Amino acid sequence: MNIKTTTSFWFAAFTIAVLSIVISFYIIPSSKTTTSIAINTQSGLELNFLKRVVKQSGIENFYSFLDQIVSGTTRRHHRKRRKITCDNTKWKSRLISDYDVSLVLTVDLKGCANFSSVQKAVDATPDGSLTRTLIIIDSGTYREKVMVRAKKTNLIFQGQGYLNTAIAWNDTANSTGGTVYSSTVTIFAPNFTAHNISFQNTAPPPEPR
């Protein structure tokens, strides 16, 4: 809780306490024998007195000021996000006709594609497919470990150039229990093809012994 919020809280509490004391001095409890007319008259006087005290004390203006602060804070928290502009022309590929592709999936990091992860796109491809499936991957570095299992047959990765699209991870022989397990992209499926994409291992080189 910051200093401004703490000060406002204690000022409001103090104001309520003062009002309670003042009202207790000016309000005279009605007896059981008081008529209904007297009760209504006393209630009206109490209400008018309370309104006059609130108005003179400036509490009404104070709470109006607090309301403006809270409303402004709420508006700042609900600012609109920037609208993402998607370019669907990037998903066109000559490989679709060259390989007679039957299914095209897309991956990017901006939310314009079918997936934001290469591995999730791989997992979504059909098992044991007899026709080609193309995964088009937009520019960017995809920091993940990817495995194409044996049943994910006839799969194609296409990037936007090996300098623009990369799959990168940082496993080592020590972190995985052997060099064979440290690869960034592992392919077990037959007829796998990759175009215009790089696979990187970003682990630092081992220290000399």
Q: What is the pLDDT along the chain (209 residues), one digit of tens a residue?
A: 555 556 556 666 666 765 666 555 545 444 444 444 444 555 555 556 545 644 555 555 655 655 666 566 555 555 666 778 898 899 999 999 999 999 999 999 999 999 999 999 999 999 999 999 999 999 999 999 999 999 999 999 999 999 999 999 999 999 999 999 999 999 999 999 999 999 999 999 877 87
Residue of 87, 84, 80, 92 whose CA lies nearest to 110: 84
- Bridge partners, 201 (sequence order): 169
Q: How many CA atoms lie within 13 A of 167 on its CB side?
A: 23
Residue of 183, 144, 149 whose CA lies nearest to 166: 144
Residue 153 C-alpha from the chain's centroid: 35
- Please, are residues 18 and 54 in contact by the beta-carbon 8 Å criterion? no
- Please, are residues 132 and 154 in contact by the beta-carbon 8 Å criterion? yes
Q: What residues have CB less than 8 Å from 16, skipping those under 6 apart? A: none
**Distance (Å, whole) CA 117 – CA 156:** 15
What pTM was computed for the model? 0.61
**Distance (Å, whole) CA 172 – CA 165:** 22
Residue 138 corresponds to which amino acid? Answer: D
Domains and CATH numbers, the chain: 3-77 (no CATH), 88-201 (2.160.20.10)
Residue of 19, 17, 85 whose CA lies nearest to 53: 19
Could you tell me the two tokens for 175? 């972190």
